[in-house]
């Protein structure tokens, strides 16, 4: 496939991306694809449908549930509050959430950010047949009575959605605003991400919303919400490729985070030894050589953002279907624009 270094015509590269995205076209759940180089969109396109019931197409303005791609925004919120001297990353979690058990005394905010907290997975504390949605505060209540440890804090890696739910609550405590409001006022509005929202049923709405779908017995069915979909800190943001382009731009300068905060977020703080294409975790980012990335998986949707900041290239693939996982697809798209993808 052609690379940017060979000066392939832009329409040829777009055709190559379209070919890679063929499975997402037509009357099926779709995807939005963004390729940025030096802040310019080389690809900005929707494929397929955002909602099979209405037949609405995916466009660059379509908002997808980001799932765990949300974690980089939760981490940025904590870093903003650290810049404001409202908290420290080395604060014990019980300073902010004192109802947690004494067994959590050694856990710090930094441990939460880097999945080094050893908290028991809150999903494992829920009833197997749970249907009522839980929220961040419910995650806290579940963990309040949990004394078990996976390992001593700071001595290992175990991915934790619960850690990021707690971080969202800490943002609220330290800022005096609820998490969704803090995101809107301190990140989304300043960056012009006017259609991005931490969605709360009955409180906010999602404009241009993509609904999740799953393939069941050969047919696509709407499967948009699960019992954990209302937890905000670990995965509750909805956004579009147009708004994520603004987020990506802010990761190159200090309009939001200081140089030191941005560098800290993408430093390897916790090594990972048993996952593919990742050497360690920063704050809301997986790190693989000079590549930063994070995926997100929710009921009826799978997403990925991959950045090569030293090469000023970013690829985002957002989908509203449960399969396939788009990471490899995003890497193949990136290979069109890089001489060699690491």
Beta-carbon count within 10 A of 202 CB: 5
Residues 208-234, mean pLDDT to the nearest whole number: 93
- CATH number of residue 242's parent domain: 3.40.710.10
For 281-318, b/e burial (b = at least 16 CB within 10 A) is bbbbbbbbeebbbbbbebbbbbbbbbbbeebebbbbbb
157 is a domain residue: yes
Give the number of domains in the chain.
Answer: 1
Question: pTM score, two decimals?
Answer: 0.94
Give 156-203 pLDDT, tens digit per residue.
Answer: 999 999 999 999 999 999 999 999 999 999 999 999 999 999 999 999
282 is a domain residue: yes
Query: Do 48 and 318 form a contact (C-beta atoms < 8 A)?
Result: no
Residue owning tokens 């067994």:
103
Q: What tokens appear for 9 in the block?
A: 């015509």
Query: Do 299 and 322 form a contact (C-beta atoms < 8 A)?
Result: yes
342 is a domain residue: no
The interaxial angle of helices 10-20 and 327-337, nearest 10 deg, is 160
**Domain membership of residue 160 as a residue range:** 4-337
Strand partners, 232: none
Among the residue ranges 128-142, 145-159, 288-302, the one predicted with the least confidence is 145-159
159 is a domain residue: yes
130 is a domain residue: yes
Quote the CA–CA distance of 309 and 290 in Å, as a whole number.
8
Give 305-335 pLDDT, tens digit per residue.
Answer: 999 999 999 999 999 999 999 999 999 999 9
Quote the CA–CA distance of 173 and 97 in Å, as a whole number.
9
49 is a domain residue: yes
137 preceded by a cis bond (ω within 30 of 0): no
Quote the CA–CA distance of 70 and 65 in Å, as a whole number.
9
Quote the CA–CA distance of 225 and 205 in Å, as a whole number.
15
């Amino acid at each position: 496939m052609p690379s940017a270094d060979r000066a392939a015509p832009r329409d040829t590269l777009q055709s190559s991306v379209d070919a890679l995205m063929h499975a997402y076209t037509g009357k099926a759940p779709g995807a939005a694809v963004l390729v940025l180089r030096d802040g310019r969109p080389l690809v900005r396109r929707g494929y397929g449908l955002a909602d099979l019931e209405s037949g609405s197409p995916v466009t660059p303005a379509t908002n997808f549930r980001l799932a765990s791609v949300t974690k980089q925004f939760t981490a940025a919120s904590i870093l903003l509050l650290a810049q404001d001297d409202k908290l420290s990353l080395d604060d014990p979690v019980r300073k902010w959430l004192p109802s947690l058990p004494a067994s959590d005394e050694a856990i710090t905010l930094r441990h939460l950010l880097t999945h080094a907290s050893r908290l028991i997975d809150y999903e494992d504390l829920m009833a197997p047949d749970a249907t009522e949605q839980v929220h961040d505060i419910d995650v806290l209540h579940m963990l309040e009575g949990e004394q078990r440890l996976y390992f001593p804090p700071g001595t290992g890696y175990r991915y934790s959605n619960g850690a990021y739910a707690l971080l969202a609550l800490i943002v609220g405590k330290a800022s005096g605003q609820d998490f969704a409001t803090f995101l809107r006022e301190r990140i989304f509005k300043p960056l012009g991400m006017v259609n991005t929202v931490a969605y709360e049923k009955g409180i906010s709405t999602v404009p241009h919303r993509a609904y999740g779908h799953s393939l069941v017995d050969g047919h696509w069915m709407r499967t948009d919400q699960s019992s954990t979909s209302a937890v905000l800190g670990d995965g509750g943001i909805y956004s579009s490729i147009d708004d994520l382009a603004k987020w990506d731009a802010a990761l190159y300068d200090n309009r939001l985070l200081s140089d030191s905060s941005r560098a800290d977020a993408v430093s390897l703080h916790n090594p990972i030894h048993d996952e593919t294409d990742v050497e360690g975790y920063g704050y809301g980012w997986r790190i693989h050589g000079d590549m930063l990335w994070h995926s997100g998986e929710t009921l009826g949707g799978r997403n990925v953002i991959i950045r090569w900041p030293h090469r000023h290239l970013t690829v985002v693939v957002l989908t509203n279907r449960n399969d396939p996982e788009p990471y490899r697809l995003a890497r193949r798209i990136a290979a069109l624009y890089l001489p060699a993808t690491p």
